[in-house]
C-alpha cells in the first residue's frame, strides 16, 4: 500500500510537470507568434550601430602631482579608465568568458544553445528565469538600449547583437565589454574596478583577483568583497572552478587561487592631494574644456603641486592649531622663478565646506600691505634707509574734507624720528600712513596690482594699513611677494603644467611668461627692508638660518592674522582667522593671535621642510647697478610734484623730513 501511494504521488508530480511543460510550450509558441509581429514593428526603430557612438566611452580624468604620483580621479556619473585589451591580464579575459559566456568565440552574437539550456533549467525548476545572454548582448544592452525587462527589448537586443558581431571583431567586443561593464562601487570597467577593490592597476592583478572581478557583473552588490566577503569568496571560487572545467587553468591552479584570502585592505589607497587644490584645478579645467570633457573625457592632468610640501603645510597647521574651537588657517607656497603653486592648504574639512580659504577667502591683510606702499615709494626714488618721518599718533586731513584720518601704532608706542626701514621693522602705522599720503594711494594700489594682487583695491589712504573693502586672497599675497622674490618679474600663478588627451596627445603645455613689472633694483631694495624685518623686527621668529624676507600682518580687533615671507626658492603666505564670521582671536590657546605669533610659527615649520636639502642662496644683486646706486647712493627728497614742506605743514608736521629737522620736531 505505501508503495502504491508513493507511485501515485510520483505520477501526479509527473502529470503536473507535463502540464507545466505543455503550458509553457504553448505560451512560448504564442509569444513567438506575437514576436514575429513585434519584430516587424521594432525593426524599423532599431538604434543605429555607428562605430563612432560605439567607441565613445566616458572616461575618468586623472590629476597628477609634480612628481608623477596620482592625486585624484574626477568623473561624472561613471568612474572609468579605458585600458586596451592587450594590457588586460589573460586571466581576467578567460575568467569573464568562462563565467559569463563560455561559447563567446563560437556564437554569432546570440547563443541559442545557452538559451535552450537556460530554458531547460527553467522548466525543470518550475520557474521562469532570464538567462543565456551573451557578452555581446550585455554590451548592446549597456550601450544602445535600456535595462527594461520586456520581450520587445530582448528581440531588439538579439538583433543588435547579431548585427554588432557582423560589423566588428570578437576582440573588439570583449575590449569594449571589459571597459564598459559595471563592477559595483561606482567602478565602470576593469581598471576602475581593480583600483576600487585592490588599489592597483588591472595590469597587476593575479589569478585570484581576476576571478573575483569576473564574478562581480552578475550581481555587483551581492558579490562585493567590500560588503560580503563570504559571498565574494564563494563566487570567486565558482569562477575559478569554471575556468578549470573549461581548460583555461589547471585544477591545481584553481585550488591554490581559491585558498588565497581576498584582500581589499589597499582599496582606494591611491594618494590624494588636499581636496581644495584638486577642486581648484578642476574648476580651471572646466573653464577651458567644459564639464563633459573634464568629467568624462579621460584627461591626464599634470600639476605643479609637491606632495611633500603639501603634507608639510597640513602638518604645520595641524601642529599649531590643534585644539577644539581653534580658528582656521590657509597656506599657499609659490616658486618665484615660474609661478608654480607648490602647496595649497586649507585646514577646513572639504566634506563639510567646499569653500577654498586659500583662493576664495578674501580677508584684510593688515600690515602685510605695507611692502606694496614701500614698493611704490622706492619706484619714486625713495631710499628707505635715508627717508624719515615722525613716529607719533596723528590725525591726517583727507582730501575733500570730512573727519581726519586718525592713526596710531598697534602697541601705542612711538619712536620719534624714524626712517622707512625701521618703521617697517616695527610695523609703524603712523609712518606708513604719512608715506601713502606723500606718494598717493593710486600709486600704492598700482604697485600692489603690478606685483600680483588681483582682487579689487580701493584708492584710499587706508590701504597702507591693509584697509581693503573686500580683502585679498592667500594665493594673491603669495604671488605678489613672489614677484619681489623674483627680482621684480611677475609670473602668473600656475597649477597645471600639462594636459594630455586619452590618446596621449598633449593638448596644453604650461609656458611661464615672466613679466618685468618693477626694476630689479626696486625689488632688491624692498627685499632688503623685509629681510631686516626677519632679522630684528616683528617677524624675528621666522628665522630659518638662510636669507629670507617677510612681513607680519594683523587687523583691527585681531580678526585676521598673516605672515607672508619668501626666500629665493619659495614665497609662502599664511592666514589665520575664523572663516564664517569676523571673530576677534583674543583667546586662542590662552593668548591673542598676532601675525608675529601662530602665522609665523606655521610659516617657519613649513619653510624648514620646504628648504631642506636646497643650497643656501642669497637674493641676487640687481643687474642694473647704476639704477640701484642712484636709488640708494644718495638722499632723495620727495619728488612727487608738490612741496613736501607745504604738505608736511598740512599734515601738522607729519610729512617727510631730514633727520635733523625731524629731531627738531621731536623736541
Q: What is the pLDDT of residue 167?
A: 85
Residue 395's DSSP bridge partners are: 406
Torsion sign over Cα 79, 84, 90, 94: positive
Task: Measure the CA–CA gap between 644 and 420, rounded to whole angstroms.
Answer: 16
483 and 597 fall within a common domain: yes
Task: Measure the CA–CA gap between 322 and 310, rounded to whole angstroms.
Answer: 18
506 and 628 fall within a common domain: yes
317 and 394 fall within a common domain: no
Maximum distance among all alpha carbons in the chain? 136
Q: What is the pLDDT of residue 155?
A: 77
| Phi and psi torsions of 595, nearest 5° | -60, -30
Q: Is residue 397 part of a domain?
A: yes
Task: Measure the CA–CA gap between 490 and 201, rounded to whole angstroms.
Answer: 41
Q: What is the pLDDT of residue 645?
A: 31
Do residues 387 and 378 touch, judged by C-beta distance below 8 A? no
Q: Is residue 646 part of a domain?
A: yes
Do residues 362 and 473 touch, judged by C-beta distance below 8 A? yes
Q: Is residue 330 part of a domain?
A: yes
Q: Is residue 351 part of a domain?
A: yes
In this prediction the pTM is 0.78
Domain span holding position 563:
297-363+472-633
Q: Is residue 613 part of a domain?
A: yes
Q: What is the pLDDT of residue 636?
A: 32
Contacts of 530 (CB under 8 A, 6+ apart): 371, 424, 484, 539, 549, 550, 551, 565
Domains: count for the chain: 2
Torsion sign over Cα 383, 385, 387, 392: positive
Q: What percent of the chain has pLDDT over 70?
A: 80
Contacts of 120 (CB under 8 A, 6+ apart): none
- For the chain, give the number of residues: 667
Q: What is the pLDDT of residue 267?
A: 66
625 and 541 fall within a common domain: yes
Q: Is residue 554 part of a domain?
A: yes
Block mean pLDDT (10 aa), the chain, length 667: 48 51 50 48 54 66 94 87 94 96 87 69 52 81 64 74 86 93 91 93 96 94 91 96 97 97 73 76 93 91 97 96 95 98 93 90 95 97 94 90 89 92 95 96 97 94 88 97 98 98 94 96 96 95 97 92 98 95 92 95 98 95 69 40 31 39 31
477 and 603 fall within a common domain: yes
395 and 350 fall within a common domain: no
333 and 464 fall within a common domain: no
**Is 552 in a helix, a strand, or coil?**
strand
Task: Measure the CA–CA gap between 589 and 211, rounded to whole angstroms.
Answer: 55
Task: Measure the CA–CA gap between 276 and 357, rounded to whole angstroms.
Answer: 9
Burial of 31 (0-12, 13-18, 19+ CB in 10 A): exposed
Do residues 71 and 63 touch, judged by C-beta distance below 8 A? yes
Q: What is the pLDDT of residue 638?
A: 32
Residue 550's DSSP bridge partners are: 565
Q: What is the pLDDT of residue 353?
A: 86
548 and 623 fall within a common domain: yes
Q: Is residue 309 part of a domain?
A: yes
Q: Find where cell 520586456 sits.
A: 150
588 and 451 fall within a common domain: no
Q: Is residue 339 part of a domain?
A: yes
Domain with 580 in it: what CATH number?
3.40.710.10
Q: What is the pLDDT of residue 190?
A: 96
Residue 578 to residues 365, 407, 596, 606, Cα–Cα distance (Å): 14, 26, 18, 21
452 and 574 fall within a common domain: no
525 and 654 fall within a common domain: no
404 and 515 fall within a common domain: no
Do residues 342 and 571 touch, judged by C-beta distance below 8 A? no
Amino acid at each position: 500500500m505505501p508503495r502504491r501511494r508513493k507511485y501515485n504521488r510520483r505520477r501526479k508530480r509527473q502529470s503536473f510537470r507535463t502540464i507545466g511543460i505543455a503550458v509553457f510550450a504553448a505560451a512560448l509558441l504564442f509569444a513567438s507568434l506575437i514576436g514575429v509581429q513585434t519584430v516587424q514593428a521594432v525593426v524599423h526603430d532599431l538604434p543605429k550601430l555607428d562605430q563612432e557612438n560605439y567607441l565613445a566611452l566616458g572616461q575618468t580624468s586623472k590629476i597628477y602631482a609634480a612628481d608623477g604620483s596620482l592625486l585624484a580621479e574626477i568623473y561624472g556619473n561613471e568612474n572609468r579608465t579605458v585600458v586596451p585589451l592587450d594590457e588586460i591580464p589573460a586571466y581576467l579575459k578567460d575568467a569573464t568568458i568562462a563565467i559569463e559566456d563560455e561559447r563567446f568565440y563560437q556564437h554569432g552574437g546570440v547563443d541559442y544553445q545557452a538559451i535552450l539550456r537556460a530554458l531547460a533549467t527553467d522548466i525543470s525548476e518550475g520557474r521562469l528565469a532570464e538567462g543565456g545572454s551573451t557578452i555581446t548582448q550585455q554590451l548592446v544592452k549597456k550601450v544602445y538600449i535600456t535595462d527594461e525587462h520586456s520581450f520587445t527589448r530582448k528581440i531588439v537586443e538579439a538583433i543588435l547583437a547579431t548585427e554588432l558581431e557582423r560589423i566588428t571583431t570578437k576582440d573588439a567586443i570583449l575590449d569594449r565589454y571589459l571597459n564598459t561593464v559595471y563592477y559595483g562601487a561606482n567602478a565602470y570597467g576593469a581598471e576602475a574596478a581593480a583600483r576600487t577593490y585592490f588599489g592597483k592597476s588591472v595590469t597587476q592583478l593575479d589569478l585570484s583577483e581576476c576571478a573575483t572581478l569576473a564574478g562581480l557583473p552578475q550581481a555587483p552588490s551581492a558579490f562585493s568583497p567590500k560588503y560580503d566577503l563570504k559571498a565574494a569568496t564563494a563566487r570567486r571560487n565558482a569562477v575559478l572552478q569554471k575556468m578549470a572545467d573549461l581548460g583555461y587553468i589547471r585544477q591545481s591552479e584553481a585550488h591554490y587561487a581559491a585558498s588565497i584570502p581576498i584582500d581589499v585592505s589597499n582599496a582606494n589607497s591611491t594618494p590624494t592631494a588636499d581636496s581644495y587644490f584638486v577642486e581648484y584645478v578642476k574648476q580651471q579645467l572646466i573653464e577651458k574644456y567644459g564639464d563633459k570633457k573634464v568629467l568624462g573625457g579621460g584627461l591626464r592632468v599634470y600639476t605643479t603641486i609637491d606632495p611633500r610640501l603639501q603634507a608639510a603645510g597640513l602638518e604645520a597647521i595641524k601642529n599649531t592649531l590643534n585644539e577644539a574651537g581653534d580658528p582656521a588657517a590657509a597656506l599657499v607656497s609659490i616658486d618665484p622663478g615660474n609661478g608654480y603653486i607648490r602647496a595649497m592648504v586649507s585646514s577646513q574639512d572639504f566634506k563639510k565646506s567646499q569653500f577654498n580659504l586659500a583662493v576664495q577667502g578674501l580677508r584684510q591683510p593688515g600690515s602685510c600691505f605695507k611692502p606694496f606702499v614701500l614698493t611704490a615709494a622706492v619706484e619714486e626714488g625713495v631710499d628707505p634707509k635715508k627717508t624719515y618721518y615722525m613716529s607719533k599718533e596723528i590725525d591726517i586731513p583727507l582730501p575733500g574734507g570730512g573727519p581726519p584720518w586718525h592713526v596710531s601704532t598697534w602697541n601705542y608706542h612711538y619712536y620719534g624720528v624714524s626712517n622707512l626701514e625701521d618703521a617697517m621693522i616695527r610695523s609703524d602705522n603712523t609712518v606708513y600712513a604719512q608715506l601713502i599720503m606723500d606718494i598717493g594711494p593710486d600709486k600704492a594700489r598700482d604697485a600692489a596690482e603690478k606685483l600680483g594682487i588681483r582682487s579689487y583695491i580701493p584708492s584710499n589712504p587706508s590701504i597702507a594699513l591693509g584697509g581693503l573693502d573686500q580683502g585679498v586672497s592667500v594665493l594673491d599675497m603669495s604671488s605678489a611677494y613672489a614677484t619681489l622674490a623674483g627680482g621684480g618679474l611677475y609670473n602668473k600663478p600656475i597649477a597645471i603644467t600639462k594636459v594630455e588627451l586619452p590618446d596621449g596627445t598633449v593638448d596644453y603645455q604650461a609656458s611661464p611668461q615672466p613679466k618685468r613689472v618693477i626694476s630689479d633694483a626696486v625689488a632688491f631694495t624692498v627685499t632688503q627692508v623685509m629681510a631686516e624685518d626677519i632679522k630684528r623686527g616683528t617677524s624675528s621668529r621666522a628665522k630659518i638660518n638662510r636669507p629670507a624676507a617677510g612681513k607680519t600682518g594683523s587687523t583691527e580687533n585681531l580678526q585676521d592674522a598673516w605672515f607672508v615671507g619668501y626666500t629665493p626658492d619659495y614665497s609662502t603666505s599664511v592666514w589665520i582667522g575664523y572663516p564664517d564670521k569676523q571673530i576677534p582671536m583674543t583667546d586662542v590657546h590662552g593668548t591673542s593671535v598676532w601675525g608675529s605669533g601662530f602665522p609665523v610659527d606655521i610659516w617657519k615649520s613649513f619653510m624648514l621642510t620646504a628648504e631642506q636639502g636646497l643650497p643656501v642662496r642669497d637674493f641676487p644683486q640687481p643687474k642694473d647697478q647704476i639704477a640701484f646706486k642712484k636709488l640708494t647712493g644718495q638722499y632723495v627728497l620727495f619728488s612727487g610734484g608738490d612741496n613736501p614742506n607745504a604738505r608736511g605743514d598740512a599734515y601738522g608736521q607729519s610729512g617727510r623730513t631730514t633727520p635733523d629737522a625731524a629731531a627738531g620736531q621731536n623736541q
